[in-house]
Chains A and B, each alone.
Chain A
C-alpha cells in the first residue's frame, strides 16, 4: 500500500498539486444564508405533518405538504448548484457548540456551528437526495393511500425528518453536525422500517438495523473524537487547512517507511475508525445484514433510504474525508477489500433469493460494495459517479417492485408472478423496470454501465488491486444474471399471478386493528379465495406511481450525457475533483499531464523521481491492455453474458411461473444454492456468535438481578415484617393480658428500685 500512496503522490505531482502547494482544497468563502432553507424546508414539513397527526387529518394533506416542501428544497438546491463558485462556501445558521477549557498556556476550544460547507460534492449529493426524495414522496402519496388517516401523517413526518437529517449529514461544515445527521438518518430508518409496528418481523428488522448501525456509529464517534484530540478541530475547513494535518499528509505522500513512521499510530487509527462508521451505515461486509431485513418497511422507504440515499452516507463520509484516509497506509486497502467481498457475497446471495424486493436489497449491498471498492482503488470520482447513477436506477427498480407488491397484494415471490409487464395497465411498470434492470446489469451505453466501468478500469490500473478488479468483473456478470432473473421471471413470459397474503383487505399490515366484523369478513374472504384463486384482480398503479417511474426512467437516460461532459470523468468527475474528495488516481491524468510530468518531477528530490519511475512500471493493466480503453468492451460483454444466461435459464421455454430451466441445473451445484438461499448462514452465525451469548449473558444478569439485587431490596422489606410477626402475638387484644403485663412491669420496676436503693 505504501507503493500505492507513492504512486498517488506522483499522480498528484503530475497534476500540479505538489507538496509545496499543499493539498488542493481552496480556502472557504462565506456563502449566502438562504442555503439554510435546504434542511429547513423538510423540517417545516416534519412540523406540519406532526400537526396533521395531532389534528387527525383524514386526507392526503400530509403527502402534499411533504411533496411541496421537498420540491421547494430541491429548487433551493438547484439554486445552490447554480451559485457554486470554485471555492467551498461556508454558511452558518447559528453557533451551535462553543466550549473553551484548559489552562492559559494550552487553551482548548470545541467549536461547531450549525453551518453548511458547500462544495461541489455537497451539491452533487443534495441534488439527488432532495430530487429523489421529492419523487419518492409523490410515489408514496399513492402507495401509502391505504393508511390515510392512520399512519399516513406519521409516515410523512418520519420521511421529511429523514430528508432533514440527510441534509444535515451532507451539508454539515463540521463532523459533529455530520454525526447529528448520521444518527438522525439512523433514527428515521428505525422509525420507517418499524412503520408496521404491529408486525413482529418489522419490529425485529427495525431493531436489527438500529443496533447494527450503532456498532458502526461507535467507530465514527471515536474517529471524530480522535480527530479533535489530534488536530483540535472538527470543522472541515479548519481541518483541511491545519498545519499539522498538511504536514502528516505530506509524510503520507512521500510514502517511504521513514516518512510513514513520522505519522503517529493514533492518527493512522482515525481512518480505520471512520471506516467502521461508514461500513455500518453503508451495509458493508461484517455489518450488512440489516439492510436486506430493512425491506420490512414500506417500499418507498426501501427505495429512498435503503437504496438511493441513506446507505450512500458511508460513501459520502469517506469521500468528504478522503484526505484523512490517506493518513493510514492500510485504510483504503481495507476499504477496497471489504467492498469487493461485500459485492461478491451479496451478489451470490441475491442470485438465490426468491423475494424480488430482497433481491433488490442484496443488489444494493452489492452495488455499495462496488462504490467502496471504487473509493479503495483511489477513484473517488468513479465511486461518486456510481452513487449518482445507482441512486436513480435503484430507486426506479425498488419503486417498480413496490408497484408490483402494491398491485398483487404483497406478492413478492418471483415463482408466483409471471408476465406482469404484459398485463393491462402494467405496461409502464414493465418498461421502466426493464430500464432499471438494464442499468443495474451494466448494459452497454447506459448510465450504470459507465459508472461501473470507471471503477472496474481503475481497479485494474491501481497497483496491487488486480484481484479486486477480477472479482468485481465476476460480480458484474452475476449482477446482470440475478437482475434479469427477476425481470424474465416476473415481468415477461406467460401471464400468471397469485395474490399475496394481503389480499382482501387493504390495511392487512395492521389486521389487528379491525373491528370484529371486519375480521370476520377477512377470514371469510380468505376461505373463498382458496377455492377460486382467480377471483383476485390486481389493481394497476395509478398516475402518481406511473409518473414517478417514468420520470426516474427518463432521468436514468438523461444522466448518460453527463458522462461525456467535462474533462475527467464527466460532469460528476468535475464535481468531485473540485471538492475535498479530489484525489487524482494513478493514470487518470495520464493524457492531460504528460507534458508536465517532467517539470513536476524536476521540482522533486531525486529519490522521488526514482521511486516514480519505479512505480510507473507497476501500474496495472488488463491482460496487457490499457484498462481504460478495453474495459468498456469487457464489462459490456460480461453484462450481456449474464443477461443471456438469465434469458436461457429463466425465460426460454418457460411455461409457468413456478418452474424454469434453472431448476434442472440446481441439483448439479450440490448444496451451494441452498446455502446461498440461506444467505450463507451469516445471520445464523451472528446469532450463534453474538446474539446467543448475549442472550445467555442477559439471562444470567437477569437472574443475578432477581436473586441478589431484588433479594437485598426484599430483605429490607422482610426484616421489619418478621420482627413484627414475632412480637405481634403479645398484642392479643385481651384486656387481661395487658393488665398482667402492666402489673408484671410494675413488679419488675419495684424490684429494680428496691435493689438499686439498697
Chain B
C-alpha cells in the first residue's frame, strides 16, 4: 500500500531494523488525523487543547523521522524548539481555559462565539 520509494531503506550507517520511514510517517499521520478529528468534533476546551497537542506531537514525530532518514539534525533541533514552545503554550492555554471556565461555568467552546474578528 505504501509507495515503494518510501520503503527503500538507505543502507548506511545502521539500517532501521524492521521499521521504515513509512511506519513513522504512518503513525504521525494517524496521530494528526486523530488530533484533527478530535479537535473538530469535541466541544470541551480541554479536550480540544489535548487534540492540538496530539497534532503537535504528530508533526514532531514526522520531523524526527525525516531527520533520522536524511541523517542530519535539523529536524531534531526543530522538534526541541517546538517542544519548548508547546510547553509554554500549554501553560498559557490551560490558564486561559481556567479563566474562561470561571466566567461561564462551562468548558464548551460554543460559549465563546463572540470572538468575531
Contact = CB atoms under 8 A, between A and B. Distances in A.
B114 A735 contact: no
Interface string A719-752: 0000000000001111110011001000000000
Interface size class of A (residues with CB under 8 A): under 10
A736 B109 contact: yes
Contacts of B114: 733
A734 B109 CA distance: 8
B117 interface: yes
Interface string B80-117: 00000000000000000000000000000110111111
B116 A733 contact: yes
Contact of B36 (A731, A732, A734, A743): A743
B40 A739 contact: yes
Contacts of B109: 734-736
Contacts of B36: 743
Contacts, number: 27
Nearest to B114: A733
Nearest to B48: A735
Contact of A731 (B43, B48, B112, B116): B116
A743 B32 CA distance: 11
Interface in A679-736: 731-736
Nearest to B116: A733
B113 A732 contact: yes
B115 A733 contact: yes
A734 B116 CA distance: 8
Contacts of A736: 40, 43, 109-110
A743 B109 CA distance: 17
A740 B115 contact: no
A735 B115 contact: yes
A754 to B, nearest CB: 12
A83 B115 CA distance: 92
A743 B113 contact: no
A731 B116 CA distance: 6
A728 to B, nearest CB: 8
B40 A735 contact: no
A731 B117 contact: yes
A416 B36 CA distance: 100
Nearest to B113: A733
A733 B113 CA distance: 5
A589 to B, nearest CB: 99
Interface in B29-43: 36, 39-40, 43
Contacts of A743: 36, 40
A735 B112 contact: yes
B40 A740 contact: yes
A732 B110 CA distance: 11
Contacts of B48: 735
Nearest to B42: A736
A734 B40 contact: no
Nearest to A746: B36
Contacts of A735: 48, 109-110, 112, 115
Nearest to A740: B40
Nearest to A733: B116
Nearest to B41: A736
A125 to B, nearest CB: 79
Contacts of B112: 733, 735
A732 B40 contact: no
Contacts of B115: 733, 735
A499 to B, nearest CB: 73
Contact of B113 (A734, A739, A740): A734
Nearest to B117: A731
Nearest to A735: B109
Nearest to A747: B36
A735 B45 CA distance: 10
A752 B48 CA distance: 28
Interface of B: 36, 39-40, 43, 48, 109-110, 112-117
Given A731-B116, A735-B48, A739-B40, 4 more contacts: A731-B117, A736-B109, A736-B110, A743-B40
19 contacts: A731-B116, A733-B112, A733-B114, A733-B116, A733-B117, A734-B110, A734-B113, A735-B48, A735-B109, A735-B110, A735-B112, A736-B40, A736-B43, A736-B109, A736-B110, A739-B39, A739-B40, A743-B36, A743-B40
The 8 lowest CB-CB distance pairs between A and B, nearest first, are A733-B116, A735-B109, A733-B113, A733-B115, A731-B117, A731-B116, A734-B113, A733-B114
